[in-house]
Structure 1
Amino acid sequence: MHHRTIRTSRITRAIAIMAAGAALLSGCAATASADGGADASSAPATELRLGYFANVTHAPALVGLEEGFFADALGDTKLSTEVFNAGPAAVEALSAGAIDAAYIGPNPAINTFVKSGGESAVIVAGAASGGAALVVRDGIDEPADLAGTTLATPQLGNTQDVALRTWLAEEGFATDTTGGGEVQITPTENAQTLTLFQQGQLDGAWLPEPWVSRLVLEGGAHVLVDEAELWPDGDFPTTVLLVSKTFLDEHPETVRALVEGHAEAVRFLADEPEQAAADLNAKLAADTGKPLDDAVLARALEHVRFTVDPVAGAFEEVLANGVAAGTAKDGSIDGLFALGILNEVLEGRGEPAVSAAGLGTE
């Protein structure tokens, strides 16, 4: 009896030790790394709530939804979507927990990261480069002609708003965030900008596609500044895929599925341009009630490059521009990118990895 008690005690201790070791290993596995490494013990999310804009610069989202790439990759995870006009509103929704991920411009992505001390959200992939410009009415042929004019942007602090304020400052024009200055900037919803321009109530606007092409072809505007001309090799970030850091930590496999669907949409845009354009216009029609004219869509697509590369090397300058424009708070963006999942997906597809430019994990 005595020996049996000792043996039982030893077995109990052994089981306890093994259980503790298993718990420790489980705890390690349950912790999702910031680079999006796979979490063996976390379950896929029951739902993924995705935000995007009804813009050509968000074509990977539109095509991914229309072709079912996201749904296929997500499997049993329900996909819900919400359409936004500009980035600051999408960031508000993400910060409030109303959405889990969003296609968004770089400036709002930077702003939420800096304001939260790196805790709110991270960029897990790029989506688009290019496709933004300043378009103006007849009679404005050089920067000096802008004195006393009123220009629109999608929303205060969004990527095109910062680009306009930065360029105007370089041209010697004073602006402020309340609509004052030598050139007045009035953040306006994109569809309303087209209407107001056609009515002669706006002198121009700095916009993303397809709104640049719509003002040109439907409103008689002309391009004064193509933003691509302001960046080395014309390469600058227009749209990235931003994910709630909490959601990434809790559901890395769901984020992986999102990135897989996204990468497939970007590939489809490159390999099947005609069908992708048809899908894009069908989704735009579903979201806005009206498809784009063929000429508008063709012109818009000529000015956008779709890529999973977030062009991370440009983000320090993007931040500096936002701070100088008065729409962003200065701070560190170290850790803004979590490209581990993307690069694993790319490796599986036989494609080259993309860089975080020292601003996060790869």
Structure 2
Amino acid sequence: MSARTARPAGRLLLAAALIPVLLGGCSVSRSAAEPAGPAAELRLGYFDNVTHAPALVGLDQGLLADALGDTTLTTQVFSAGPAAIEALSAGAIDAAYLGPNPAVNSFVQSAGQSVRIVAGATSGGAALVVRPGITDASDLAGTTIASPQLGNTQDVALRSWLGEQGYSTSTTGGDGDVDIAPTDNAQALTLFQSGKIDGAWLPEPWVSRFILEAGATVLVDEASLWPDGAFPTTVLVVGADFLAAHPETVQALVAGHTASVDWLTANPDQAAAAINRTLVADTGTPLPDAVLARALTGVTFTTDPLAAAFPLLLQAGVDVGTAKTGSLDGLFDLAPLNRVLTAAGGQPVAAAGLGTE
């Protein structure tokens, strides 16, 4: 885990300007035993993926740290959502950028006590890529396809789509028509290059890396499976207990996150360089320019979590055996986000009846 400090270059002042106004509207209750006021520290998880660009840019530009003020921001990098949810559940982090399915699973399994989605981050940017020679769903019988982790958002999308094509899959491995191999994205690329797997359902930049570095082709762009091509890839979640204890800090985090999404929208020509600076800080290695350029064409950065999609995502998880059925009532707390948006003259976003707005 590493501490992040604000960088002076390229900061946006919107979040800082809005914080005093927004905090005055906070009314989330907390028990007398919980500490009052902003948290001394906020521990934030994210992935080194293009679909997590609001986190990467928010760190590079200092937007998250600026908005949090005296609250120290520390970060931890994950490779898939279930691992980040485990860290949230264990109290190792307080908030995280992750895919929707792990958030849904955690919420249902805890009977609504674990997490709250406080904003959207990214829509789009996921696909099934395959080796040359596979040109149709009918070519997939007997193949091995990777996903980032069992039960993560791309894993559920892969299993659900294969089921629609008439294939059986297994969550324990070995007895499906198509063998799904939950595998770290970097390792999946190596396995694909060596011919040991036949494809993978992945988020960006891994889709573009498979294509440009390993000769893969896109068999299914997930956007083609959703109305208007819009589906949630990354959301911002916080621990429910942390939100109850430190609503001011969550409000500040959401303001910084919104400033990051606004920066990405206003500065598309600078996005790749900002993303790469965080990747270099985290891994020591930047993404090639061509990979980043291709990856960024397939994603949309938005604070709208597209809440209406979540019952469908839950049902898909239930159908493929990675989730339990349950209620999503209360999953969203979009009140902090909507205070930010309306204070800046924007339109509030909807929770689709699944929480507060």
In the superposition, the TM-score normalised over structure 1's length comes to: 0.89
1:104 corresponds in structure 2 to: 98
1:215 aligns with 2:210: yes
Match of 2:29 among 24, 28, 31: 31
| Superposition deviation, residue 282 in structure 1 | 1.1
Q: Which runs of 5+ in 1 are unaligned?
A: 1-27, 34-40
> Where do residues 82-231 of structure 1 align in structure 2 (5 Å cutoff)?
82-180=76-174, 181-231=176-226
User: Residue 256 of structure 1 contacts residue 341 of structure 1 at CA under 8 Å; is this kept in 2?
Assistant: yes
Instruction: Give the Cα–Cα distance (whole angstroms) in 2 for the partners of residues 242 and 163 of structure 1.
Output: 20
Query: Which amino acid in structure 1 is aligned with residue 71 of structure 2?
Result: T
TM-superposed CA distance for 1:275, in Å, is: 1.8
2:331 corresponds, among 336, 353, 356, to 336
The equivalent residue for 1:241 is 236
Distance in 2, matches of 1:78 and 1:182, equals: 49
* One-letter amino acid of the structure 1 residue matched with residue 105 of structure 2: N
Identity between Structure 1 and Structure 2 (%)? 68
* Structure 2 residue matching 1:81: 3-state secondary structure: strand
2:315 to 292, 298, 320: 320
* Aligned partner letter, 1:267: D
- Dislocated runs of 4+, deviation >4 Å: none
- What is the rounded CA distance, in whole Å, between the counterparts of 1:268 and 1:73 in structure 2? 14
1:61 matched residue in structure 2: 55
**In structure 1, distance between residues paired with 2:242 and 2:36:** 11
What amino acid does structure 2 have at the position aligned with 1:140? I
| Rounded Cα–Cα distance in structure 1 between residues aligned with 2:257 and 2:146 | 31
Residue 289 of structure 1, CA deviation: 2.1
Shift of 1:288: 2.1
State the alpha-carbon separation in 2 of the partners of residues 200 and 108 from structure 1: 30
User: Quick one: distance in 1 between partners of 2:95 and 2:316?
Assistant: 25
TM-score with structure 2 setting the length: 0.90
1:118 is paired with a residue whose SS is coil
Question: Aligned partner of 2:182: which letter?
Answer: P
Q: Which has the higher helix share?
A: 1
* CA–CA distance in structure 2, aligned partners of residues 118 and 179 of structure 1: 30
Aligned partners of 2:28 and 2:313: how far apart in 1?
35
SS at 2:263's partner residue? helix
Q: CA deviation at 1:232?
A: 0.3
State the partner residue of 1:51.
45
Secondary structure in 2 matching 1:281? helix
Secondary structure at the residue paired with 1:214? helix
1:266 aligns with 2:267: no
Structure 2 segments unaligned to the other structure (5+ residues): 1-25
Q: Alpha carbon RMSD of aligned pairs, Å?
A: 1.3
Question: Number of aligned pairs?
Answer: 328
